[in-house]
Structure 1
């Protein structure tokens, strides 16, 4: 099984529409690209206030499903969301008070990766759903390059 790992520059832009309010988040960090078999992993940190950080792992499975895991130990929050083109998926948010089920509906997803030179784009447009209610619309745009 082939295992390739490379340092990459990661730029993540997230656009969130919740209750009619639009917010934009931009993260630019150094990260690690790893390929194990046909699965691809991108790991990087998100800088938070007070010199804290959250670790983010994006996994692209060999069948094209995208998993996004975010862990912020300082706030006791961890989320794991799954994205499959045009499908509903079950995920969750782990808090200090317990686990909240969070579902996603992936309206659109696209992954483009070029191996030489190593670079890629991961785009996900999705609805975040709690208790059968859409609580937000998201646009996730990740670009990386070695």
Structure 2
């Protein structure tokens, strides 16, 4: 199984609209890599959150995708445009099931002379049977010039 890895610059925009509370927007610029494996694209990056290092892998697709986080935050967030998916979030008290209801999922990429792409997911996050908010994540990446 061959793996192709390309270094990329990443712009990540996240919007959270909690059920109770104010809308939150986050924008981050990160260094990472895109790995092609078995015809699928995976985006990998590390972010610092307070004192914690969080390793993130995003499997990008148009019908299904997932976000896997390890390190300071442990979480598996699956997305599927056809059905609700069950993921999990690790807390200090143990693992908690979380449900994602995907409203929109798209992944566009270009591999001509410079690898670039855009991944977008909009979903409701449901914990203990209650929606906690509407989330939008938009990731754009482009190959680092050598």
TM-score by length of 1: 0.89
- Runs (5+) with no aligned partner, structure 1: none
> Is residue 84 of structure 1 aligned with residue 77 of structure 2?
no
- Cα RMSD, aligned residues only: 1.6
Say whether 1:123 aligns with 2:120.
Answer: yes
Q: CA deviation at 1:64?
A: 3.8
**1-10 or 97-106, which deviates more:** 1-10
Give the 4+ runs in structure 1 shifted more than 3 A: none
Cα distance per residue 1:76-109 (max 9 Å; x no partner): x311000112431100101121011000000011
Output the CA distance in 2 between the equivalents of 1:37 and 1:87: 24
1-structure distance, mates of 2:82, 2:38? 25
Q: Partners of 1:45 and 1:24 in 2: how far apart?
A: 19
**1:48–1:145: structure 2 CA closer, same or farther, 3 Å change rule?**
same
Q: How does 1:12-91 map to 2 (within 5 A)?
A: 12-18=12-18, 19-50=20-51, 52-60=52-60, 64-73=63-72, 77-91=73-87
Partners of 1:122 and 1:131 in 2: how far apart? Answer: 28
- Structure 2 runs not aligned, ≥5 long: none
TM-score, normalised by the number of residues in structure 2? 0.89
Preserved CA contact (<8 Å) 2:63 2:105: no
Residues 126 and 132, structure 2, Cα contact 8 Å, conserved in 1: yes
